[in-house]
């Protein structure tokens, strides 16, 4: 990432109480391509950090109210802002002020009287390290992962053994793990080790034995490359040891990738503070990268979990829909089979009724003739013949035959009515007459043990499908008869108003448990023993009622058994 691109993208927050100096600094920064926002107090600056975060903060040390070092300290306490670079400004070169600012967390100290070029170079050096060293490929980078505490690692590159030893002792007392190197080749070999974890590299820019600027350029190039695929790219800070007053040297050093320049003749305390600020900022950046990587991993894991949950839910929904469709198909198939059976039964019954009706009419006609002849013979037979008893017995037998033939005729009539009740088209049906037909056909089940009580309060005619009274009423009454053990009773009641027609059928049987009432209309569900029922009767009854846009419900009956209530919308036919 070039310095130019950094400057173009950088947002700088300027905290300066002097409006005149703020205007001068803002003009200088904007002239160099930075976007600048200005706040006059530290409190106002902290409020602005709750909105869009800047790339860098430049704060005056002497501010009204909260001063610059307290502003920096507050920023370092917040996870969102602790990695933002901070440059501290002051009027004079006061080492005590510089030390206080750096110890509070500032990254660099610049005098307001410093040359504009030095200020811009400092800013660009800090901005160059504000993001991941591999730029836009940051998402693919494995951030540093420090599960346990470790000492910061510092590499000193200086051809002067005296100065090298002085720096090593100074920084070792600060708790750093310090490694000295006397020449660039040794330094590059140490840096390129796969297990290297350097945090800061000090390079003597004024060395007579090697080109310090060139070494910094090579180090800057290397820290943007991962030594092995999948490994972390180095992210150490480069510090040049020289002097801050050499304009051309400073420009070349910052252009080569140096992050900061510390005078080699500076006091030991200032040296420690400057190095401490750089190392602290580098470690905070690493920690931020680690936190961001963990958050990204958690977001990816959450997204994967949500996708898996959605996939599982979709699969469960698909399986449930498939099961429902399969059940519906099985129910429809069973109903079609039952409908075909009923149609075949209707044709069979009609055929049987027709075949019985023909010889029945012949027998009834001849029975009348025989009865008439026996009556004439009885009238003309002389008393002395002694045949009165035989003739009377024959007449009694013919009378019994007449009753039997009448019952056969009634049965044939009911069979013919039953066959017509399976017609699918809607028509006007006499409800009491049709119910009586059904009861006559169920006479073998009802017998004399079950008392059927009729309460016909509704109008007699209903425009409906005959199957409503055939299959629905026959199934419910037949089930009631099967449920009643021994003697009992069945009540059939009809009611009507202007809009609905209601048929209620209740019995004195054991009733239907509440937990089973929602399932009795399911296809193949039955409470009868195996082989005694198909579980289709009430399912077909439910479908027939639904086809009439009506409803069928089951509750506890008034006599302790079950009560079925069938409600059908009335259709007025002109």
Instruction: Report the chain's C-alpha Rg in angstroms.
Output: 53
CA dist., res. 297 & res. 306, Å (int):
14
Q: Which residue has the higher pLDDT, 573 or 379?
A: 379
**pLDDT at position 14:** 93
Taking 50 as the threshold, does the pLDDT of residue 68 lie above it?
Answer: yes
254 Cβ partners below 8 Å, 6+ apart?
Answer: 121, 122, 124, 125, 261
Q: Strand, helix or coil at 181? A: strand
Percent of the chain whose pLDDT exceeds 70: 80
Cβ neighbours of residue 56 under 8 Å, at least 6 residues apart? 10, 11, 12, 13, 84, 85, 86, 87, 123, 126, 127, 130
Interval 538-550 mean pLDDT: 80
> How crowded is residue 420: how many other Cβ atoms within 10 Å of its Cβ?
17
Give pLDDT, residue 139.
40
State what percent of residues in the chain have pLDDT above 90.
14
Outline where DSSP puts E strands in 445-519.
450-456, 461-464, 488-496, 500-507
Q: How confident is the model at residue 517 (pLDDT cuts 50, 70, 90)?
A: confident
- Residue 167 pLDDT greater than 70, yes or no: yes
CA-CA distance, 129 to 224, in Å (whole number)? Answer: 11
Is the model's pLDDT at 422 over the cut of 70? Answer: no
For residues 261 and 279, give the distance between their C-alpha atoms in angstroms, rounded to a whole number.
14
- How many residues in the chain? 574
Lowest mean pLDDT among 7-16, 311-320, 485-494: 7-16
Q: What is the pLDDT of residue 3?
A: 43
Taking residues 279-296, report their average pLDDT: 77
State the pLDDT confidence band at 146, using cuts at 50, 70 and 90: very low
**Rounded average pLDDT over 106-129:** 80
Q: How many CB atoms lie within 10 A of CB 250?
A: 23
Identify the bridge partners of residue 503 per DSSP, sorted by sequence position.
Answer: 494, 566
Beta bridge partners of 155: 179, 201
pLDDT at 452: 92
> Rounded to whole angstroms, how far apart are CA atoms 222 and 497?
94
Within 8 A by CB and 6+ apart from 474, the residues are 438, 441, 442
pLDDT above 90: residue 141: no
Is this prediction's pTM over 0.85? no
Whether residue 327 is predicted with pLDDT greater than 70 in this model: the reply is yes
Mean pLDDT to the nearest integer, 483-491? 89
pLDDT of 458 > 90? The answer is yes
* Per-residue confidence band for 345, with pLDDT thresholds at 50, 70 and 90: low
- Give me the pLDDT at residue 453, please: 93
Decide the pairing of beta strands 35-39 and 11-15.
Answer: parallel
Residue 335: what pLDDT? 62
What pLDDT, on the 0 to 100 scale, is given for residue 7? 41
- pLDDT, one tens digit per residue, over 12-47 is 999 998 888 889 889 999 888 899 999 988 888 888
**Distances in whole angstroms, Cα of residue 566 to Cα of each of 338, 438, 544:** 21, 16, 11
Q: How far apart, in whole angstroms, are the C-alpha atoms of residue 300 and residue 294?
A: 10
Between 144 and 53, the higher pLDDT residue = 53
Model pLDDT, residue 12: 93
Contact 474, 510 (CB under 8 A): no
pLDDT above 60 for 9? yes
Ordered domains of the chain (ranges, CATH) = 1-131 (3.40.50.2300), 150-266 (3.40.50.2300), 423-569 (3.30.565.10)
The per-residue pLDDT for 468 is 67
pLDDT at site 474? 85
pLDDT attached to residue 425: 67
Evaluate whether 236 touches 271 at the Cβ level (below 8 Å).
no
Does the pLDDT at position 261 exceed 80? yes
260-274, 332-346, 507-521, range with the lowest pLDDT = 332-346
Q: Is the pLDDT of residue 259 over 70?
A: yes
> 184 pLDDT exceeds 80?
yes
Of 342-356, 379-393, 395-409, 435-449, the poorest mean pLDDT is in 342-356
User: What is the number of other CB atoms lying within 10 angstroms of the CB of residue 197?
Assistant: 17
Residue 501 has pLDDT above 90, yes or no: yes
pLDDT for the residue 531: 52
Quick one: pLDDT at residue 456?
93
Region 406-420: mean pLDDT is 64
pLDDT digits (tens, 9 = 90+) for 185-220: 999 999 888 888 888 899 998 888 899 999 999 998
More confident residue, 27 or 535: 27
Q: What is the pLDDT of residues 556-572, one digit of tens each?
A: 888 888 999 999 998 75
Quote the pLDDT of residue 57: 93
Output the six-digit token pair for 88.
Answer: 């501290």
Q: Tell me: the pLDDT tens digits for 223-235?
A: 866 554 455 567 7
Mean pLDDT of the chain: 79
């Amino acid at each position: 990432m070039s310095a130019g691109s950094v400057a173009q993208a950088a947002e700088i927050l300027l905290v300066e109480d002097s409006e005149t100096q703020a205007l001068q600094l803002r003009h200088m920064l904007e002239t160099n391509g930075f976007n600048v926002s200005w706040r006059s107090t530290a409190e106002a600056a902290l409020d602005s950090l709750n909105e869009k975060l800047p790339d860098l903060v430049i704060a005056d040390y002497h501010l009204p109210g909260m001063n610059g070092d307290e502003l920096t300290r507050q920023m370092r306490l917040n996870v969102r802002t602790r990695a933002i670079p901070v440059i501290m400004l002051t009027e004079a070169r006061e080492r005590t002020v510089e030390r206080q600012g750096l110890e509070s967390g500032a990254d660099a100290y610049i005098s307001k009287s410093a040359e504009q070029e030095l200020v811009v170079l400092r800013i660009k050096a800090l901005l160059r390290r504000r993001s991941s060293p591999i730029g836009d490929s940051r998402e693919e980078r494995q951030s540093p992962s420090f599960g346990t505490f470790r000492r910061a690692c510092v590499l000193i590159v200086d051809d002067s053994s005296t100065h090298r030893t002085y720096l090593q002792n100074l920084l070792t007392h600060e708790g750093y793990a310090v490694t000295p190197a006397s020449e660039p080749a040794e330094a590059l070999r140490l840096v390129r080790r796969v297990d290297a974890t350097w945090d800061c590299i000090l390079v003597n820019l004024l060395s007579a034995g090697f080109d310090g600027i060139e070494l910094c350029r090579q180090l800057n190039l290397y820290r943007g490359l991962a030594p092995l695929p999948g490994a972390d790219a180095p992210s150490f800070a480069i510090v040049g040891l020289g002097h801050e007053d050499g304009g051309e040297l400073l420009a070349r050093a910052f252009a080569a990738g140096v992050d900061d320049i510390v005078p080699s003749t500076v006091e030991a305390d200032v040296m420690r503070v400057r190095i401490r600020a750089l190392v602290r900022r580098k470690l905070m950046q690493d920690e931020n990268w680690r936190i961001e990587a963990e958050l990204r991993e958690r977001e990816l894991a959450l997204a994967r979990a949500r996708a898996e949950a959605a996939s599982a839910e979709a699969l469960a929904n698909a399986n449930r829909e498939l099961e429902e469709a399969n059940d519906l198909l099985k129910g429809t198939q069973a109903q079609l089979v039952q409908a075909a059976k009923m149609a075949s039964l209707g044709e069979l019954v009609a055929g049987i009724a027709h075949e019985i009706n023909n010889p029945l009419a012949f027998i009834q006609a001849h029975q009348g003739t025989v009865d008439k002849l026996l009556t004439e013979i009885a009238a003309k037979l002389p008393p002395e013949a002694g045949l009165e008893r035989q003739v009377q017995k024959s007449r009694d037998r013919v009378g019994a035959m007449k009753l039997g033939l009448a019952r056969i005729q009634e049965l044939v009539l009911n069979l013919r009515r039953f066959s017509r009740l399976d017609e699918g088209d809607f028509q006007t049906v006499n409800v009491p007459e049709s119910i009586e037909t059904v009861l006559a056909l169920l006479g073998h089940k009802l017998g004399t043990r079950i008392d059927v009580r009729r309460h016909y309060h509704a109008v007699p005619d209903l425009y409906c499908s005959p199957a409503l009274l055939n299959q629905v009423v026959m199934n419910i009454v037949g089930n009631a008869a099967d449920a009643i053990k021994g003697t009992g009773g069945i009540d059939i009641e009809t009611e009507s108003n202007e809009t609905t027609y209601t048929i209620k059928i209740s019995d004195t049987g054991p009733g239907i448990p509440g937990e089973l009432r929602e399932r009795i209309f399911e296809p193949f569900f039955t409470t009868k023993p195996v082989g005694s029922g198909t579980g289709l009767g009430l399912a077909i009854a439910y479908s027939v009622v639904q086809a009439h846009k009506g409803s069928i419900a089951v509750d506890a009956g008034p006599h302790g058994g079950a009560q079925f209530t069938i409600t059908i919308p009335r259709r007025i036919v002109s």
